[in-house]
Amino acid sequence: MENLFEKHTVEARMLDFSEGFTEKAIPVEIRKDCFTGTVSRVLKSRMRFPQASHEPEMIEASRHNCPFCPENLARSTPKFPADLVPEGRICFGRSTVLPNAFPYSRYCGVTVISDEHYISLDRFSVEKLFSALKASTLFIERIKANARDVSYASINWNYMPGSGGGLIHPHIQVVVNRRPTHFHGRLMRSSADYKMVHGANYWADLVEFEKQNKSRYLFNYGGIEFISLFSPGGMFGEILSIFKNMSSIRDLTDETLDSYARGLTRLLKSFHRMHLNNLNMTLLMSLEDDDGFWIQARTVPRVSLPPLGTSDVNYFEKGHDEVIVIISPEDLAEEIRLTD
For Zn ion, the binding residues (CB under 5 A) are: 66, 68-69, 117, 169
Q: Return phi, psi of residue 116, to 5°.
A: -80, 130
Greatest C-alpha distance within the chain: 74
Closest CB 89 distance from Zn ion, rounded Å: 16
Closest CB 69 distance from Zn ion, rounded Å: 3
CA separation, residue 201 to residues 209, 288, 295 (Å): 12, 17, 13
Specify the 3-state DSSP secondary structure of 174.
strand
Closest CB 171 distance from Zn ion, rounded Å: 9
From start to end of the chain, where are the E strands?
Answer: 5-16, 22-33, 39-42, 90-92, 95-99, 107-112, 152-159, 171-177, 217-221, 224-228, 239-243, 278-286, 296-302, 304-305, 310-311, 322-325
| CB closest to Zn ion, residue no | 66
Closest CB 182 distance from Zn ion, rounded Å: 32
Closest CB 55 distance from Zn ion, rounded Å: 16
Closest CB 113 distance from Zn ion, rounded Å: 11
Q: Which is nearer to Zn ion, 120 or 310 (CB)?
A: 120
Q: Which is nearer to Zn ion, 68 or 221 (CB)?
A: 68
- Sequence-ordered list of residues with C-beta below 8 angstroms from that of 133, at least 6 positions apart, any chain: 155, 257, 260, 261
Closest CB 66 distance from Zn ion, rounded Å: 3
Q: Which is nearer to Zn ion, 76 or 215 (CB)?
A: 76
- Sequence-ordered list of residues with C-beta below 8 angstroms from that of 84, at least 6 positions apart, any chain: 107, 142, 143, 146, 147
CB atoms inside a 10 Å sphere around CB 227: 23
Altogether, the residues listed in the chain come to a count of: 340
- Contact 211/269 with Cβ under 8 angstroms? no
Q: Which is nearer to Zn ion, 169 or 216 (CB)?
A: 169
Q: Which is nearer to Zn ion, 168 or 218 (CB)?
A: 168
Q: Which is nearer to Zn ion, 96 or 328 (CB)?
A: 96
Q: Which is nearer to Zn ion, 56 or 199 (CB)?
A: 56
